[in-house]
Structure 1
Amino acid sequence: MYPIPEQPAAGQRILFLPAMLDDHFPLLQYAFHSREFFPVVLDQRRGIEDAGLRYAHNDMCYPFILSLGQYLQALGSGTYDPARVSLLMPSVGDACRGSNFTSLIRKALIQAGYPQVEVLSLNTKGLERDHALPLHPYMVWRALFGLFWGDLLMLLTHQTRPWEAVPGAAEACRAKWTARLAGELKAGRGLTLGHLRKTFAQAAADFARLPLRPGPRRRVALVGELYTKYCALGNWDIVPFLEGEGWEVSVNGFSWYLLYYASNQIAAGGPAQGVWRGLSRWVAGLQQDLCRALADHGFFTLPPFPAFQREAAAWINQDLQVADGWLIGAEAAAHIHSGCPRVLALQPFGCLPGHVCGRGQYAALVRRLGEGKVMSVDLDASLPRLMLYNRVKLLLEG
């Protein structure tokens, strides 16, 4: 596997990645590097809503508006030559507006004066095959490591940062491990499954040595649509807010979503069912190793996906397979069962799959469980941030 240089080579295109997975992209970004493309994760924040709303209707999916605003600000910054830029829009290809993002981005780019910018799609449903991001085996292999190491550092940081005895210790530990693992991904050497598992235990042991404040711990779970669950832009920095209020935020790892998606493809049948089944078993085995390493050092995770799915069957109809589907309710139930009775569900305004598969079942779910409290909040460009925080305080104090 070739090493990744610090700067793009001559003839290499710049690949814009919108902010989506804050805890994973510092590592996962290297999976998008190839001979053709040099990835850049966008970090624009100020004014991106207004930039997106100039070329998108305000009832469009909130993640789309923010991502479009980031694309346009980066293109207008003067840092990049638009003729050498490609935009990537990942999509699961399900029956939601996310499947229309690429065509809407192209329309907005033409209106904004960037008709030469290429828009690429990344999905497993074969949408827009002529505009698909070319994938290579080494990209998929780096993605595997970025996925699990991102889960690892996210889970460890969330469970130590609110209770650290030395302010900044958890972030410093995460920064140290991020730099180390990013270096290994860029070098492209030693990326073996044995090394992956060894890193699980080493990082968990390192975080476990951080001194913590004594006293009771309060946990609140965060579930919902991917963008509003994992991206600070999409959830308005809800994790720092909750930690500032004295709560630990329990967020499930992204590998659970990957296995959830694979399980839906298995349930759908078809000629690729065997491939999805084999991939699912293999990834689930690595996830089990992650959960075991964390548990051995005193950290918590929801059950590994096969057990998680079996337990969810008692509470959630698993025919709800569009977008985040039954995963939202299953995570809420699993968090409540684990002793985290307060659950905050965040989703974009107007996200029909999220409302049907998420909000549509929260009340019935709590009645079946006999415990817990789930508060659902929509996020969009017209909602004041203070209103979100006030509603969340009702959940925490109720």
Structure 2
Amino acid sequence: MNKDNTIFSRSMKKTHTIYMPDMLHYHNDFLIAAFGLGGYKLDIVPEYYEFPDNMLSLVNSGYCTCAMDIIGNLMAHIESDNTDKEHMAILEPQAGGACRAGNYYDLIIQCVKKSGYRIPVLSLNFRGSEAHPGFKIGPKMLFGAIAAVCYGDLLMTLYQQTRPYEKIHGQAKCIYDDWNKRISADIAAGKNLFFREKRYQEIIDDFLKIERFSRDEKKLTRVGISGEIYIKCSPIGNRHLEQFLADNGMEYRMEGFLNYCTYVMFTEMKSAELNNASKAELTIYQKIIDYLKGMQHKMSSLLEKNGFYADGSFEEMRKKSVDILSEYYNIGDGWLVMAEAMHMIEQGYDKILIVHPFGCLVSHVAERGVLKKLRQLYPHANINTIEYDYDQSKTLRESRILLATS
């Protein structure tokens, strides 16, 4: 028996709940189901409005907003009376690269240890590093996770483009919630993990049944959201930006997570190329990338056929950006942020919010550094960066958003 309970042992698989930060709001339930295929119980760390008093002694205030949010909510959850500290583990997704997020794994371990707890901390990454004997991702769980990403992107796209124009308030949310439950059940049972056009069309058809105003009948400010992945996708990170835009009568759209996954694999392959990786290793990267691109192409084609805006194909996005930023510029979210902004502008979303955390040098270079060029290319668009600090004034932030979308 393993006496070190900071190692996630095989026996813990049956007894422990793994907690992951709320990073992908539209995908969380599907990822929980996908982990269930591997025999793991996954849960999401809830949002806490007050962090532990010793937070600043654990995490240097020079860390970025993402670190403060993720670790602050995590430590608040550990110290909650409702948390079973004897049967919990922590999962921190890591994309790698030149970003302080690469230090989160070790930082979380130190925070937990200094607070007097012995809790296993797992790393979810593409390289297989920081391995634990009780945590393995098998093929079924992997394909379940890919299905979770695809279905999450699909429902997000349909909901964001339907809700602002519905004639009966709340109808889009009801259909979204219904499909969220049905897809979660499918993934948990290992069903419909691969692309089935009939299944995807059933979901689209339900949203098409919603009686809607046309964009000509109901003229709304159209806002595209791009930026650093956590601030963009997490309602905790962006301080419930979607709800704020909806409350102010705007239509908003963000591009999905599938292109980001492809981007991460692509940047890993490019790094491997520069390090003289073997032909076999590069072939594996390419096969994974081709699979993800194939899934994205099928889903986008179906959305466009039914009258919805879809994400740009990965190759389309790469070609948009290559004249401004090299494809080897893969620091953080790199060229993908700019490519998403360009694609949404071309779809008619002429107010662009590029969101990023305070204290993130990577975001300042990749996002603020391209503003001048973007404004030259799209003079009709209002393109602005919105910086998020963990203790900034809500009024100041929201006034900047309203100014940027005016």
The answer for the alignment partner of 1:193 in structure 2 is 194
* One-letter code aligned to 1:185: I
Q: Residue 225 of structure 2 contacts residue 354 of structure 2 at CA under 8 Å; is this kept in 1?
A: yes
Unaligned runs of 5+ in 1: 1-7
Deviates more, 1:300-309 or 1:44-53: 44-53
Q: 1:75 aligns with which of 78, 81, 93?
A: 78
Give the Cα–Cα distance (whole angstroms) in 2 for the partners of residues 233 and 52 of structure 1: 17
Q: Residue 121 of structure 1 contacts residue 132 of structure 1 at CA under 8 Å; is this kept in 2?
A: no
Q: Residues 365 and 58 (structure 1 numbering): CA distance in 2 closer, same or farther, change over 3 Å?
A: same
1:387 Cα deviation after fit: 0.9
Give the Cα–Cα distance (whole angstroms) in 2 for the partners of residues 50 and 39 of structure 1: 27
Instruction: Give the paired residue count.
Output: 387
1:180 Cα deviation after fit: 0.6
The answer for the alignment partner of 2:25 in structure 1 is 22
Deviates more, 1:222-231 or 1:60-69: 60-69
Give the Cα–Cα distance (whole angstroms) in 2 for the partners of residues 352 and 113 of structure 1: 32
Give the Cα–Cα distance (whole angstroms) in 1 for the partners of residues 130 and 14 of structure 2: 24
Q: 1:357 aligns with which of 354, 362, 366?
A: 366
Identical columns (%): 26
Q: Residues 253 and 132 (structure 1 numbering): CA distance in 2 closer, same or farther, change over 3 Å?
A: farther
SS of alignment partner, residue 82 of structure 2: coil
Q: Residue 336 of structure 1 contacts residue 371 of structure 1 at CA under 8 Å; is this kept in 2?
A: no
Q: Residue 322 of structure 1 contacts residue 353 of structure 1 at CA under 8 Å; is this kept in 2?
A: yes
For 1:255-295, what per-residue CA distance to the aligned partner results, in whole angstroms no more than 9, with x for missing partners?
Answer: 01111122222323223221111111121111111111111
1:35 Cα deviation after fit: 5.8
1:50 Cα deviation after fit: 6.0
Q: 2:258 aligns with which of 223, 232, 255?
A: 255
Q: Residue 227 of structure 2 contacts residue 355 of structure 2 at CA under 8 Å; is this kept in 1?
A: yes
SS of alignment partner, residue 212 of structure 2: coil
Q: 1:169 aligns with which of 145, 156, 171?
A: 171
1:160 Cα deviation after fit: 0.9
1:69 Cα deviation after fit: 2.0
SS of alignment partner, residue 72 of structure 1: helix
Q: Residue 14 of structure 2 contacts residue 40 of structure 2 at CA under 8 Å; is this kept in 1?
A: no
Give the Cα–Cα distance (whole angstroms) in 2 for the partners of residues 375 and 302 of structure 1: 21
Give the Cα–Cα distance (whole angstroms) in 2 for the partners of residues 328 and 52 of structure 1: 31
Give the Cα–Cα distance (whole angstroms) in 1 for the partners of residues 13 and 258 of structure 2: 35
The answer for the alignment partner of 1:125 in structure 2 is 127
Give the Cα–Cα distance (whole angstroms) in 2 for the partners of residues 373 and 31 of structure 1: 39
1:34 Cα deviation after fit: 5.9
1:110 matched to 2:113? The reply is yes
Q: Residue 224 of structure 1 contacts residue 347 of structure 1 at CA under 8 Å; is this kept in 2?
A: yes
Give the Cα–Cα distance (whole angstroms) in 2 for the partners of residues 194 and 103 of structure 1: 37
1:141 matched to 2:150? The reply is no
1:388 matched to 2:402? The reply is no
* Structure 1 residues 1-398: aligned runs within 5 Å: 11-33=14-36, 37-48=40-51, 52-114=55-117, 116-129=118-131, 133-188=135-190, 190-195=191-196, 197-213=197-213, 214-268=217-271, 269=273, 270-271=277-278, 272-397=281-406
Q: Residue 13 of structure 2 contacts residue 39 of structure 2 at CA under 8 Å; is this kept in 1?
A: no
1:313 Cα deviation after fit: 2.3
Give the Cα–Cα distance (whole angstroms) in 2 for the partners of residues 244 and 137 of structure 1: 42
Q: Residue 94 of structure 1 contacts residue 322 of structure 1 at CA under 8 Å; is this kept in 2?
A: yes
For 1:153-177, what per-residue CA distance to the aligned partner results, in whole angstroms no more than 9, with x for missing partners?
Answer: 0000000111111111111010010
Q: Residue 69 of structure 2 contacts residue 390 of structure 2 at CA under 8 Å; is this kept in 1?
A: no
Deviates more, 1:146-155 or 1:125-134: 125-134
1:192 Cα deviation after fit: 4.6
Give the Cα–Cα distance (whole angstroms) in 2 for the partners of residues 313 and 233 of structure 1: 32
TM-score by length of 1: 0.91
Q: Residue 222 of structure 1 contacts residue 345 of structure 1 at CA under 8 Å; is this kept in 2?
A: yes
For 1:333-364, what per-residue CA distance to the aligned partner results, in whole angstroms no more than 9, with x for missing partners?
Answer: 11122222211011111111111111111122
1:36 Cα deviation after fit: 6.0
1:194 Cα deviation after fit: 4.6
CA-based RMSD: 2.2
Give the Cα–Cα distance (whole angstroms) in 2 for the partners of residues 52 and 153 of structure 1: 36
TM-score by length of 2: 0.89
Give the Cα–Cα distance (whole angstroms) in 2 for the partners of residues 391 and 303 of structure 1: 28
Unaligned runs of 5+ in 2: 1-10
1:54 Cα deviation after fit: 5.0
Give the Cα–Cα distance (whole angstroms) in 2 for the partners of residues 191 and 58 of structure 1: 45
SS of alignment partner, residue 79 of structure 1: coil
For 1:11-30, what per-residue CA distance to the aligned partner results, in whole angstroms no more than 9, with x for missing partners?
Answer: 42210111100011121222
1:52 Cα deviation after fit: 4.2
Q: Residues 38 and 107 (structure 1 numbering): CA distance in 2 closer, same or farther, change over 3 Å?
A: same
1:102 Cα deviation after fit: 1.3
Q: Residues 53 and 278 (structure 1 numbering): CA distance in 2 closer, same or farther, change over 3 Å?
A: same
Give the Cα–Cα distance (whole angstroms) in 1 for the partners of residues 378 and 133 of structure 2: 45
